[in-house]
Structure 1
Amino acid sequence: MGSVLLVLFLAYLFGSVPAGVLVARTYGVDLRKVGSGNIGATNVLRALGWGPALVVAFFDVFKGGIAVLIARAFGLSGWMLGGVALMAVLGHTYSLFLGFRGGKGVATSFGTLLFLDPLLALFTFPIGVSVMLLTRYVSAGSLTGGVASFVLALALGRPLWEVATVLLMVLLLFWTHRENLKRLQEGTERRLGERVEVR
């Protein structure tokens, strides 16, 4: 039981590392005070450009993946493995290092899914990216990809623990994107590629 709790805590800790804030700080920018104030790669892209955004996206994806790898190294599987995936995403969304505030959890959710079920992740990825490119709304692509991952998990007959894990991650995505959904309805959501002023 002790090792399970340790892995869950490590997953949360890994998820909590705010890559966006750290990368932006090297440019003298407080990411939480520019654009949407979000710490994820999309806001980094708007504030600093593609290079820093790709670094942040890579880190946010693989910190979720590392948590899953550590869990498997400790012999965790099934529901426990799903719990580790969720803890990594919760760490990103409610970071220990940012006063329990954080990002939307898209990249970290994808990272945990990529290591939990690579086939499901690779089926989901082009769906989300296609919607994002067609609409130029990152939020629309992210949420569509999330819904697609749940539908595909059911269609592919994945085990109950995995379906439940994916569903909870999708519900968390909708919760963290609630303001984006409101802006999409109002037609005021920022589009992909729009830059913000950095002071």
Structure 2
Amino acid sequence: MSDVILTNLLLVALCYLLGAVPAAAWVARARGVDIRTVGSGNSGATNVLRSLGKGPAAFVATFDIFKGVLAVTLARLAGLDHEWVALCGVMAVVGHNFSVFLRGRGGKGVATSFGTVVTLSPAIGFFAFVLAIFTMWLTRFVSAGSIIGAAAVLALLAFSYMVHLPPPWYGTAALTFLALLLIWQHRDNITRLTSGTERRLGDKA
């Protein structure tokens, strides 16, 4: 194995560990709460909001977004090829969703995915974010906004190919994977949304 590939793999592993840092679980633990046993059980900002309030949730959301931004930025600063940069961003989200610090559990990756997507493709990330926030405001369902945001990423990618201005293949692969992963992570929410049992923004755990 060449030194370049070894360095790249080490950075990919580092980005996974960065993403795996469970801010929600650690913030909750500092307040005497095991985030895995309250609300949805997810280690994410939405569950922190329902369990601990707006302040801790804002901190966790900002930290989780920063994980995605930092993973991509570190890879770029290290001079990695674009394909490896995209992989580092993806691995930060994978780390968040399946954290080694939480025995493979984690959050749903909304904030970290946003940080990664907006750093890899600012235009797609911005428009997806606007649609997600509008959906959350309109419906008061965080899950619905997250799913719509992920679907918007896929739609914008499809549109970019229709107008013959697609991102490079590695960008398409990374964004498609992240969008599909986010939708998959919300499969239980989709069931609750269709059955009318999903909790709205502001509901307490």
- Pairwise same-fold verdict (TM > 0.5): yes
In the alignment, does 2:82 pair up with 1:62? Answer: no
Which residue type is aligned with residue 53 of structure 2? G
Which one is further off, 127-136 or 157-166? 157-166
Which residue type is aligned with residue 172 of structure 1? L
What is aligned with 2:190? 181
In the alignment, does 2:8 pair up with 1:4? Answer: yes
Q: Deviations over 1:104-143 (max 9, x none)?
A: 0111000111211222211211100101111111111001
Extract unaligned runs of 5+ from structure 2: 161-165
What is aligned with 1:133? 137
Q: CA deviation at 1:194?
A: 0.3
What's the Cα RMSD here? 1.1
TM-score (norm 1): 0.95
Which residue type is aligned with residue 125 of structure 1? F
What is aligned with 1:170? 179
Whether the 8 Å CA contact 1:65–1:111 is kept in 2: the answer is: yes
In the alignment, does 2:17 pair up with 1:13? Answer: yes
Q: Deviations over 1:28-72 (max 9, x none)?
A: 111111111111000000011111000000000001111111110
In the alignment, does 2:54 pair up with 1:45? Answer: no
Which residue type is aligned with residue 112 of structure 1? T
Which residue type is aligned with residue 183 of structure 2? F
Q: CA deviation at 1:154?
A: 3.5
Extract unaligned runs of 5+ from structure 1: none
TM-score (norm 2): 0.92
Q: CA deviation at 1:171?
A: 1.2
Which one is further off, 29-38 or 118-127? 118-127
In the alignment, does 2:128 pair up with 1:124? Answer: yes
Identity between Structure 1 and Structure 2 (%): 51
| Aligned positions, number | 196
